[in-house]
């Protein structure tokens, strides 16, 4: 299966506009066997399935990651 290199994760924000985080595919796979994506800082991490289903992954202790409203694949 060929997975997109990058996604935009769109989170609902308290402000006027939603928060958008760009994540890139890593060499890791999550518990479901799908690629793990992360942002440049390595803090925002998610396993994204071939159907665009997102499972957020904690990158450190005491995190309670919120699920995004939407995951959009980005063209290379």
Q: Report the predicted TM-score, pTM, of the whole model to 2 decimal places.
A: 0.88
Domain of residue 17: give its range: 6-74
- For 8-21, the pLDDT digits (tens) are 999 987 777 888 99
- For 16-65, the pLDDT digits (tens) are 788 899 999 999 999 999 999 999 999 999 999 999 999 999 888 877 77
Q: Is 36 helix (H, G, I), strand (E, B) or coil?
A: strand
Number of domains in the chain: 1
> In angstroms, rounded to a whole number, what is the distance separating the alpha carbons of residues 48 and 50?
7
Segments of 1-76 assigned E as strands:
6-11, 19-29, 35-38, 45-48, 54-57, 70-74
pLDDT computed for residue 61 by the predictor: 80
Instruction: Report yes or no on 1 lying in a domain.
Output: no
pLDDT computed for residue 47 by the predictor: 97
pLDDT computed for residue 72 by the predictor: 94
Q: Is the model's pLDDT at 1 over the cut of 90?
A: no
Instruction: Report yes or no on 41 lying in a domain.
Output: yes
């Amino acid at each position: 299966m060929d997975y997109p290199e990058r996604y935009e994760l769109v989170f609902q924000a308290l402000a006027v506009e939603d928060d958008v985080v760009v994540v890139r595919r890593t060499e890791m796979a999550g518990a479901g066997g799908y690629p793990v994506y992360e942002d440049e800082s390595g803090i925002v991490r998610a396993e994204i399935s071939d159907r665009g289903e997102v499972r957020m992954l904690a990158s450190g202790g005491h995190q309670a990651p919120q699920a995004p409203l939407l995951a959009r694949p980005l063209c290379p």
